[in-house]
């Protein structure tokens, strides 16, 4: 498992960011951490998992890149919204206009 150079991290974890990233890269246990990762199944934008689940046997041989780290599932959802908003505002994310958006 690797951590992206431009990883997003919640405010609560910023003081220990380097230690958390080091533990994730080494596969060490960290209680109650949630990770936003690039899609493992190559479908969609991002996925949210508890770090404990990502350390499980099923994910051992998967190529996983962590792009966001949060202290709870709720924080992960909020962080993901911020990430998508930043991508949209920077032009990295294109959304097609649909009929319900025209009204």
Instruction: Dump pLDDT digits (tens) for 31-63.
Output: 899 999 999 887 888 999 999 999 999 998 899
Does pLDDT of 101 surpass 70? no
pTM: 0.85
Does pLDDT of 100 surpass 90? no
Q: What value, to the nearest 5°, has the Cα angle with vertex 13 and ends 11 and 18?
A: 125
- Strand partners for 9: 69
Of 28-32, 36-40, 96-100, give the lowest mean pLDDT range. 96-100
Say what the pLDDT of residue 50 is: 96
Integer Cα distance of 42 and 69 in angstroms: 20
Does pLDDT of 30 surpass 70? yes
Instruction: Report DSSP state, residue 97.
Output: -
């Amino acid at each position: 498992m690797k951590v992206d150079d431009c990883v997003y991290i919640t405010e609560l974890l910023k003081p220990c960011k380097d230690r958390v990233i080091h533990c994730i890269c080494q596969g060490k246990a960290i209680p109650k951490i949630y990770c936003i990762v690039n899609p493992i199944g190559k479908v969609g934008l991002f996925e949210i998992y508890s770090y404990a689940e990502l350390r499980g046997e099923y994910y051992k041989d998967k190529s996983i890149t962590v792009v966001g780290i949060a202290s709870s599932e709720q924080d992960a959802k909020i962080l993901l919204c911020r990430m998508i908003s930043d991508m949209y505002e920077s032009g990295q994310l294109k959304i097609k206009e649909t009929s319900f958006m025209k009204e």
